[in-house]
Amino acid sequence: MSMCKRYLSLACSLTLAASSLVGCGSKDSSSTAGDTVQNTGTFTVSMAELQSQMGAGWNYGNTLEANSGGTPSETAWGNPEASQEMVDAVKAAGFNTIRVPVSYLDKIDDSNGYKVDEAWLNRVQEVVDYCYKDDMFVIINVHGDGYNSINGGWFLCNGDDQDYIREKYAALWKQIAEKFSGYDEHLIFESMNEEFDGVTYSGQPDPDYYANIMDYNQIFVDTVRASGGNNSHRWLLMPGWNTDIDQTTDPAYGFHLPDDPNNTAGENRMIVSVHCYAPWDYAGQEDYGTWLWGKRGQEIVEINKAPNINLARWGNEDYIVGQFQKLKETFVDKGYPVIVGEFGCIDKTPANSGIPNQIAENRVYYDGYIAGTAAKNGCIPVYWDNGYNGTYGFGLFDRTDCSQTQPEIISTIVKAVADKDPDAGHEVRVKKEVVKNDSVHAYIGLQTKVYTFRNTYNDAQYGGATEWFNTLVKWEGDDATDAGAVFSDADITADGTYTVSVSGYDFSADSDGLNMLFVSTDFQYAPAMKISDVVLKVDDTEIPIDDPLVMADSSNNLYIELVNIYNTDLAPLDFAMPTDSFSVTFTISGTSSVLG
C-alpha cells in the first residue's frame, strides 16, 4: 500500500513513550519458528481451483511492514503484534486468505552478503504459521523496501545503482525462498508491492523504470525456482507499475509476465497482482468532499432530498465492471489468475452527523461491489485492513480484542465473493446507536524533548483509563515518576469557550523545547464541530494560534494539535519554555452531535 494511504499517521504522535502494544494475544509462545502443524506436504492447487479455495482475503496491514526510521517493527505504526488469536478471528469471520506485507529494510546486512536478520525472518515464519494452523492461504511479499518515501528504502525502480539493487533483491528472495522451501502451496510469494517511481500515478510511466520492474519480476521467478523444494511449483504473484490496473492490462505501458522454464507444476503457476481503490476521492482521499458512491449513494441522496455534491462523479459501477473485465480478458481467460491484493474504502461516517448509518451502508455496498465484481470476473479480492478504526480508517477488526468493528462489511465481502454477487451489500442496513452524554471532556497533553509527558486520553498505557493520566510523567533511568505538575481539564457541557492547562513544573529546566503539545478529548469528532479562537498561554505570554490542526485521533475522538515535530505540515510555534505552566483556551461549537 502506498504511503499516501493512511498508515496510522497519529501513531508517532500518540505513542509518546517507548512501549510495546499488547493485543488480543501476543506472539504464540507455545511454539518456536519451525514448529508448524501443516506447513509441509504435497498440497497443490490448480488454476481451476485457486479462486474457490482462496475465497475472500484480508490484509494484516501496517504490521510486519511497519518501520521506525528504516527499522522494521510490528508496533511502530500503532498496531499490536500479530497473533494467532487475530488470525483465528479472521478465519472465523469467513476469510480464507491472509496477505502479510513484510518490510526488511535495515534487517538486511549489506556488509555481510545481504544476510537477513535471522530473528526477523523467524518472526515472519511465525506469522505464516499462524495462518497455516487455520488451514489458510497466506501471501508474503517485499513491501516497504520499494518506497521512495521510506527512510532506508532501497528497492527503487528509479534508483541510481541498479546492479546493487538487483544483486540485493536476488539475495533477499534466495533467503526467503530457502526458509519456506518446504511449505506447500498454501503459501504464495509476492515479488513486491506498489513499485514505481513515487511520482507517476497515471499516464505513461518512464519505460526504463518499468523495464526495471519487469527485470525484478524475472529475478524473483528465477531465484525462487532455483531454491528447490516446493518452490519449484509454488504460485508466484507479481505486479506491474504501481499495481495499477490500466498500467498492467495495457501492453503499451510495458507489462509482461516473466519466463518460467523451471516451473515443475505442469501448468502455469504465475499470478498477476493489482490493487483497486477507485474512485480514489471516495475510497481513499482523506476529506469529506466525496462520501457517497454509486447506486446506493444516489438512493441516499434521493431519500434525504440532499444535493448530490458529495456523490462520486466518476468511477461508478460501470467503471468498476470495465476494469475487472479488462483483467479477465487480459489474464484470467488466458490462464493467469489475478489477485486484487488490496481494495477497500475508508470510514467517512462522520461526514454528515445526521446520516452516519447511511454513509456506513454506502461503504458496505462499495466494498461488496468491488469484491463481488472481482469474484465474478475470476479475480481474488483481498481487503486492505490497516488496523485503524475511526475516521478515515480501513479497519474491520479491533486488534486489541480481536472483535469485529465492521461486521456488515465483513459478512458482505465474504458473501459477495462466495456468491460472485456485486450487489451483495445493496440491501444491508447498519444500525449503530449514536451515544450522547450530558458532558464531555478535553485534556491538555504534551511531550518535552526529554520525554516528560502526558499522553492522550485514549492511550493504552498512560491514558484516561490508567493511574498515570493525571501525572506529568518523567523518566528517571528505567522508571517512570511523577514530576509533580497539576492538570486542569475542561468539562464541556455546551458550545462555549474552555481552557485546559498544566502548571507547577519548571519546563525550562527540563529541556529547551517541546516535541508535542495538543488537546485530546473523550468524544467523537464530527465535521459539524468547529474550533476557533485558540490561544496558547506560556506562563503569562499569550500566543494566538491562527490555524490549529483539528482532526480525529486514532479512536475517532476530537484532537487539536499545536506542536508536533513529527508532523512537517504543522507550522512551528515560536515560544520560550515556561517556568510554571502551559494553557490552551479554545472555543467549540457544534457539540450537539455528542451532547444530548
Of 547, 551, 593, the residue nearest 570 (C-alpha): 547
Helix or strand (DSSP H, E) at 330: helix 317-330
Crossing angle for the helix pair 407-419 and 356-376, to the nearest 10 degrees: 20
Of 393, 366, 246, the residue nearest 312 (C-alpha): 366
Residues above pLDDT 70, as percent of the chain = 93
Q: Decide if pLDDT at 414 tops 80.
A: yes
User: If pLDDT is split at 50, 70 and 90, which confidence band does 354 have?
Assistant: confident
Q: Decide if pLDDT at 519 tops 50.
A: yes
Q: Decide if pLDDT at 28 tops 80.
A: no
The arithmetic mean of pLDDT across residues 405-415, rounded, is 98
Question: What is the set of domains in the chain, with CATH numbers?
Answer: 42-287+315-419 (3.20.20.80), 440-593 (no CATH)
- Provide the pLDDT for residue 434: 66
With cell 504473484, the residue in question is 237
- Provide the pLDDT for residue 307: 80
Residue type, 382: V
Q: Decide if pLDDT at 229 tops 50.
A: yes
Helix (H, G, I), strand (E, B) or coil at 298: helix
Q: Are 388 and 8 in contact (CB under 8 A)?
A: yes
Pairing assessment for the beta strands 270-276 and 236-239 based on DSSP bridges: parallel
Helix (H, G, I), strand (E, B) or coil at 579: coil
Residues above pLDDT 90, as percent of the chain = 80
- Provide the pLDDT for residue 350: 83
Q: Which three cell numbers stand for residue 89?
A: 478471528
Q: Are 280 and 344 in contact (CB under 8 A)?
A: no
Average pLDDT over the chain, rounded to an integer: 92
Q: Decide if pLDDT at 34 tops 50.
A: no
User: If pLDDT is split at 50, 70 and 90, which confidence band does 135 have?
Assistant: very high
- Provide the pLDDT for residue 570: 84
pLDDT tens for each residue of 260-271? 999 999 999 999
pLDDT tens for each residue of 210-222? 999 999 999 999 9
Which residues are known to be catalytic? 194, 342
pLDDT tens for each residue of 556-566? 789 999 999 98
Of 537, 541, 528, the residue nearest 588 (C-alpha): 528
| Helix, strand and coil in the chain, % to nearest 5 | 30, 25, 50
Q: Which three cell numbers stand for residue 23?
A: 493485543
CA-to-CA dists, residue 470 to 114, 443, 485, 582, angstroms: 48, 10, 9, 15
Of 521, 553, 526, the residue nearest 439 (C-alpha): 521
User: If pLDDT is split at 50, 70 and 90, which confidence band does 1 have?
Assistant: low
Query: Which of these ranges, 313-327, 411-425, 436-450, has the smallest mean pLDDT?
Result: 436-450
With cell 530473528, the residue in question is 119
* Angle at 407 (CA atoms; ends 131, 22), nearest 5 degrees: 55
Q: Decide if pLDDT at 30 tops 60.
A: no
Q: Decide if pLDDT at 527 tops 80.
A: no
C-alpha–C-alpha distance, residues 416 and 95, integer Å: 12
The arithmetic mean of pLDDT across residues 385-404, rounded, is 95
Q: Decide if pLDDT at 515 tops 90.
A: yes
Give how far the C-alpha of residue 43 lies from the chain's centroid of Cα atoms, to the nearest Å.
32
- Provide the pLDDT for residue 32: 43
- Provide the pLDDT for residue 596: 80
Query: Which of these ranges, 381-390, 482-491, 569-578, has the smallest mean pLDDT?
Result: 569-578
Give how far the C-alpha of residue 528 lies from the chain's centroid of Cα atoms, to the nearest Å.
26
DSSP one-letter code for 508: H
Q: Are 58 and 382 in contact (CB under 8 A)?
A: yes
The arithmetic mean of pLDDT across residues 152-167, rounded, is 97
Q: Are 399 and 353 in contact (CB under 8 A)?
A: no
CA-to-CA dists, residue 23 to 26, 140, 400, 406, 459, angstroms: 6, 22, 4, 18, 13
pLDDT tens for each residue of 44-86? 999 999 999 999 999 999 999 999 999 999 999 999 999 999 9
Sign of CA dihedral 575, 578, 582, 584: negative
Helix (H, G, I), strand (E, B) or coil at 140: strand
C-alpha–C-alpha distance, residues 282 and 284, integer Å: 6
CB atoms within 10 A of CB 289: 12
User: If pLDDT is split at 50, 70 and 90, which confidence band does 4 have?
Assistant: very low
Query: Which of these ranges, 12-16, 72-76, 87-91, 215-219, has the smallest mean pLDDT?
Result: 12-16
Q: Decide if pLDDT at 385 tops 80.
A: yes
Q: Are 586 and 497 in contact (CB under 8 A)?
A: yes
- Listed in order, strand segments (DSSP E) in 294-375 are 338-343
User: If pLDDT is split at 50, 70 and 90, which confidence band does 11 have?
Assistant: very low
The 3-class secondary structure across 172-235, one letter per residue, is HHHHHHHHCCCECCCEEEECCCCCCCCCCCCCCCCHHHHHHHHHHHHHHHHHHHHCCHHHHCCC
Q: Are 14 and 462 in contact (CB under 8 A)?
A: no
Of 269, 288, 253, the residue nearest 221 (C-alpha): 269
- Provide the pLDDT for residue 90: 98
CA-to-CA dists, residue 536 to 44, 198, 532, 585, angstroms: 64, 38, 12, 7
User: If pLDDT is split at 50, 70 and 90, which confidence band does 483 have?
Assistant: very high
The arithmetic mean of pLDDT across residues 514-541, rounded, is 92
User: If pLDDT is split at 50, 70 and 90, which confidence band does 553 have?
Assistant: confident
- Provide the pLDDT for residue 511: 94
Q: How many alpha carbons fall within 13 Å on the CB side of residue 561?
A: 22
pLDDT tens for each residue of 278-309? 999 999 999 889 999 999 999 999 999 888 99
- Provide the pLDDT for residue 203: 87
User: If pLDDT is split at 50, 70 and 90, which confidence band does 551 have?
Assistant: confident
pLDDT tens for each residue of 40-54? 678 999 999 999 999
